Structure 1
């Protein structure tokens, strides 16, 4: 559950013969300090593709590979390159190109290096990795990508200097292929390591390669000296002269020679099925923390479970036996015999709510049973306000619940794994479109239960409310990202394809589900009748008024989830180069979370009914999704104290995506809360409604 090899399925191993070309693909650059990514070949200071074919590739360098939807949404732009790798053939040094760059390119490159951008290359579906070892050198682990350069301070003048990596030492870890392929002399790749280095112009041969790559060479600073004469003329009446010439446009350039080395090293301690394990070292080490999170969640859920059992016992078992002057015996209502036959019976309306059948004062429990939630039997199923919006929200919530459950199950089974690049998002989107059937069905059936007449309009709202608002938000964010020329922006063709899937596939599925839920299925039956005149609601305690109770109840599910959120946030926002793959722990915590949300909603709904407030419909939905408020507050805290995101667009993306994720979470858990409360209310009134009707008809 905590390691990759448990989750990864057994699939075919791609193997290579000796001297067989191995394609190296370039993808993008990304940083933990910003949400903007850029395609590698869009950088003006790297070697551009020549278009030549290498090895047995049918495409020349610079050819874009077809990507699935998940890869596009995560900003991938995978293209073939001019790097030549041949199985088991070491290369001491080979020149790639010499790139001439101007001041504008230098300025952008310096900024990217300052922001900590790393490049992602791919060999045999493995990302290029930077290799690290633990302090005691007992273990090795990988971090995806390698830095474009580094920043250093010169001891001579104390100024910050930025150096660019222009030599790449590529190390391919391999071993004999298992099975028949290995007997035929074929090999499999276990690791793809890149060790970048900055090497200056000195001591190079006529091909541009350093004479000794492994020697202590001078470093190449990414810098163009300013034209002092031009600057003096431009700023002759100003006391400020830009130090680095960032405003200059004098045609000055610098040349960056790019070279690379290739080494193949046999690795016998790692099996091909476990080659991703080195990317998950941190997650394996944190397994104890995951177990503590599960114990914490189980403790909270267990305490709430005991409370729910007590409530269930008070409302069902005791009420089924009967209270006051009437008892239920074998399904029939009979009058309780008087304990004092010499006393004269009172009139039905005399001391009704304060005395029992013998004229004795009612106990606190008996008084609560008579004057509490039972008094709402004629109002508890009164139609809520804005019921036309509640049904589509519940329908969308069931759709998201199906998607979340499907993704967790497929991930734990190993079907969704790191080798399936972009698979999590792609499969999730497919499940979301297919789950339109569930969305339409539950929305239409609830709409019919609430007395709705125009089911087609409810279908349109259900099919367009959540997907439409989500698409509008993503489109608006895309405008900002487009302006930054980032690969994070969705191509226009992808947007058109998403709209087509929405309108041509999901909407018909929602319509089919709605037709079955409204036309063919019966509405859910309520065990009590609703009176024509609504009951007056007494003044509520402060903790049940409005938003107060909703916010307070959200703390409990958040306490169940927040430890696991630490790992999820770290992989989403800080370690974009890492892979979150402890879905076994996440599945357990998610299951406990759903149970906790159900328990909290039952307790909150029961307290609300005991306070004689029958507006539980929306309150239960908001109570179920209330922990999303605390998760968004946690996002704000995480942004302030844990992240180092710079720039308006990156901050906008962070908060927008965080808000969207919290909205999805709130919609999902809100639906769980509503369905739980609805089942609970129907159940308790189904037990006691025959007794209630006879009691109130007799008394009044």
Structure 2
């Protein structure tokens, strides 16, 4: 007995010792250094990931590769945790490559051409147009943070959306839909405006007087733009990229980006989610709907239980009135009455499964309760 207790204590100490340097996946801070100064504990490359595209006007999400966007030649999919799998996230690398503290202006990612004479090109462009009409949103990720699109709203407030649209559409009657209302140049009837350029701003904490090597990212924002690129000195200084509703002529789309870096040491790494959470609308939990659903579930469960009890009570009373000789001919559920208290063949395995199932059920309800009280981490991008 003492040997068994000592063995369990030793295992506990080993497990605790191994947990001292453990971080939750995706929540550990990552340090960044300037290009050429990267080490194992300080990266000089910033990887931008893309996630699935979704829309509030459609229940069908699409992976990034389904649309005819620029593709990464060395595409890799990071290992997703259980929560990401359950939420249906499809994270993969992107063709947008950055180096820390390296400013870039109007960098070309790729070019796409669509010929109306080719059926395949017509199908790809029509799919993009349908995505614009349904207001499908990009979701980009940098350092496990969403790349947000911040813009001014009513009363001088700023709203940061963890996504940005593919484009916007002006109807044949001249009504600007969705993001087309933010720019007065989007005014041509029956025209799609495609967001093919992004201005990205990476905000970082330099690590001064903090005791860590390198800098840490505290914010990532962008501004989508629609630009008809030219061949001049500044190709990103042009009119909006217009795609007519009637696809009759060849369409060329050039994808570009610009990136700048800003130092803001007053923003702590542990507080880098604050600017997103403050701008999000604070929706009230519908406690009345929750209680109403619970009452309905309990009421229906009670009705089913009463029906079963009345049926079983009649069957059992009828069974007790029959003589034992006549009771030999049994059918239905009565045939298993002798097996109710018979021990199973693998009782230990059954008890383990029951115990684990009970723990999972209890933890599920505890997690839901904490979610209702607002204790979940903002690292969950779906909230």
Q: Does the CA contact (< 8 Å) of 2:217 and 2:269 recur in 1?
A: yes
Q: Distance in 1 between matches of 2:187 and 2:64?
A: 34
Shift of residue 66, structure 1, vs aligned partner: 1.8
Output the CA distance in 1 between the equivalents of 2:312 and 2:267: 60
Change (3 A) 1:224 1:136: closer
Q: Are the counterparts in 1 of residues 190 and 245 from structure 2 also a CA contact under 8 Å?
A: no
Name the residue aligned to 2:224. Answer: 196
Paired residue for 1:174? 204
Residue 158 to residue 15, structure 1, CA distance change in 2 (3 Å): closer
Query: In 2, Cα distance between the equivalents of 1:110 and 1:181?
Result: 50
Unaligned runs of 5+ in 1: 1-7, 52-61, 228-251, 301-379, 389-394, 422-577, 580-700
- Provide runs of 4+ in structure 1 moved above 6 Å: 154-158, 395-399, 410-413
1:220 aligns with 2:223: no
Higher fraction of strand: 2
Q: Deviation of residue 402 (structure 1)?
A: 4.5
- Map 1:500-649 → 2, pairs under 5 A: 579=383
Distance in 2, matches of 1:71 and 1:126, equals 14
For 1:390-405, list aligned pairs within 5 A.
400=361, 402-405=363-366
Alignment of 1:118-517 (within 5 A): 118-137=137-156, 139-152=157-170, 159-177=189-207, 181-182=211-212, 184=213, 186-201=214-229, 203-205=230-232, 211=234, 213=236, 215=237, 217-223=238-244, 253-281=250-278, 383-385=309-311, 400=361, 402-409=363-370, 416-419=376-379
Aligned-pair CA distance for 1:404:
1.6
User: C-alpha deviations, 1:445-493, integer Å up to 9, x for none?
Assistant: xxxxxxxxxxxxxxxxxxxxxxxxxxxxxxxxxxxxxxxxxxxxxxxxx
The within-5 A match list for 1:71-86 is 71-86=84-99
Structure 2 length normalisation: TM-score? 0.61
Output the CA distance in 2 between the equivalents of 1:411 and 1:86: 40
Of the three residues 104, 110, 115, the one matched with 2:129 is: 110
Determine which structure has the larger helix proportion and give its number. 1
Q: Distance in 2 between matches of 1:157 and 1:284?
A: 30
CA contact (8 A) 2:106 2:235 kept: no
Q: Give SS of 2:239's match.
A: coil
Tell me the TM-score normalized by structure 1: 0.35
Structure whose alpha-carbon radius of gyration is higher: 1
User: Kindly tell me: are residues 68 and 385 of structure 1, through their superposed partners in 2, closer, same or farther at Cα, counting changes over 3 Å?
Assistant: farther
Distance in 2 separating the partners of 1:284 and 1:32: 16
- Structure 1 residues 279 and 181, CA gap change in structure 2 (3 angstroms): same
Q: Which has the higher contact order (CA 8 A, sep 6+)?
A: 1
Q: 1:380-406 CA distances to partner (integer Å, 9 max, x unpaired)? A: 9x9454699xxxxxx999974541214
Calculate the aligned-residue CA RMSD, in Å: 4.0
Deviation digits for residues 19-50 of structure 1, max 9, x if unmatched? 31111111121111111111112212x11222
Which of 28, 35, 40 does residue 59 from structure 2 map onto? 35
Q: 1:15 aligns to what?
A: 31
What CA distance in whole angstroms lies between the structure 2 residues aligned with 1:400 and 1:194?
42
The CA deviation string for residues 596-644 of structure 1, in whole angstroms up to 9 with x for no partner, is: xxxxxxxxxxxxxxxxxxxxxxxxxxxxxxxxxxxxxxxxxxxxxxxxx
Q: State the distance in 1 between where 2:312 and 2:160 align.
A: 53
Give the deviation of 1:92 after TM superposition.
Answer: 1.4
- Residue aligned with 2:161, SS: strand
Q: Distance in 2 between matches of 1:150 and 1:410?
A: 35
Q: 2:170–2:188: 8 Å Cα contact kept in structure 1?
A: no
Structure 2: give runs of 5+ residues left out of the alignment. Answer: 1-23, 36-43, 115-120, 175-185, 292-305, 314-332, 334-354
| Residues 131 and 283 of structure 1, relative CA distance in 2, 3 Å threshold | closer
Cα 1:90/1:135, change in 2 over 3 Å: same
Q: 1:278, 1:384 → 2: CA distance?
A: 59
